[in-house]
């Protein structure tokens, strides 16, 4: 069974895609197109379309709508606070972080919020490609710490005490059947060891075709670091 694949979009790829959409769309000036819908996720004063209220509207529906809008407003306030906190922690302008978020027009609000929380917790900079967004086969989105991000995390951690890789002797098309990563911490007796199998983690991305051994090593390192730190 072929493993599931995911599509990871860097900031550069997202910007190129946005430019291509505008260039190739005849009605790019149409405000109803997705590319022109500027939904501001970071402002609480959400502008709603005016709806004509009639006597036939169920009062319960109106109450449910009010509750939903209050929840959305609270969630947007939380995102705004995370933007301020993340920008200050990383030493970047809030406007720059806002601009980066505005490019993620396909990404749900809760995923943006999760990404900002991870940025704060691990001090990861999206402009340095230390964290990015990945779209799964089911079209859902996830915040993803890149190999650069994990490298920053364990190399700056005070308890990090080294790591090593062990490849399988058996090969599949010239690539080790599996790759094992062991990470050592000063505050733990035993190392954290993770083994990733090539047939389970490979996908159709061009990088996997060009550098399958490196990508297998990266995958083992990412999963091992995730458990160790």
**Each residue of 131-158: pLDDT tens digit?**
999 887 777 898 999 999 999 999 999 9
- Going by C-alpha positions, the residue among 40, 6, 41, 42 that lies closest to residue 144 is 6
Do 122 and 214 lie in a common domain? no
Question: Which range marks the domain in which residue 197 is found?
Answer: 146-229
Q: What confidence score (pLDDT) does residue 52 get?
A: 42
Q: Does the pLDDT of residue 4 top 70, yes or no?
A: no
| In 91-139, alpha helices (H) | 94-102, 109-122
What residues contact 123, with CB distance under 8 A and at least 6 apart?
A: 89, 90, 152
Do 120 and 218 lie in a common domain? no
Do 58 and 165 lie in a common domain? no
Do 132 and 164 lie in a common domain? no
Q: What confidence score (pLDDT) does residue 172 get?
A: 95
Boundary-marking domain end, from 140, 155, 172: 140
pLDDT, tens digit, 9 for 90 and up, residues 80-136: 999 999 999 999 999 999 999 888 888 888 899 999 999 999 999 999 999 999 887
pTM reported for the whole predicted model: 0.65
Boundary-marking domain end, from 88, 111, 140: 140
Assess contact for 158 and 145: CB atoms under 8 A: no
């Amino acid at each position: 069974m072929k493993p599931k694949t995911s599509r990871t979009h860097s900031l550069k790829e997202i910007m190129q895609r946005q430019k291509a959409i505008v260039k190739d769309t005849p009605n790019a000036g149409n405000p109803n197109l997705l590319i022109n819908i500027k939904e501001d996720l970071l402002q609480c004063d959400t502008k709603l379309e005016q709806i004509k209220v009639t006597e036939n509207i169920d009062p319960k529906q109106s109450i449910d709508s009010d509750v939903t809008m209050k929840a959305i407003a609270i969630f947007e306030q939380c995102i705004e606070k995370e933007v301020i906190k993340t920008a200050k922690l990383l030493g970047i302008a809030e406007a720059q972080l806002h601009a980066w978020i505005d490019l993620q027009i396909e990404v749900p609000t809760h995923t943006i919020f999760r990404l900002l929380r991870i940025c704060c917790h691990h001090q990861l900079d999206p402009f340095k490609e230390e964290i990015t967004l990945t779209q799964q086969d089911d079209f859902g989105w996830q915040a993803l710490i890149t190999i650069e991000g994990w490298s920053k995390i364990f190399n700056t951690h005070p308890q990090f005490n080294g790591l090593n890789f062990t490849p399988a002797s058996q090969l599949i098309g010239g690539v080790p059947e599996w790759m094992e990563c062991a990470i050592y911490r000063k505050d733990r007796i035993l190392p954290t060891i993770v083994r990733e199998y090539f047939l389970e983690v490979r996908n159709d991305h061009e990088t996997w075709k060009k550098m399958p051994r490196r990508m297998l090593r990266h995958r083992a390192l990412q999963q091992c670091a995730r458990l160790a730190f």
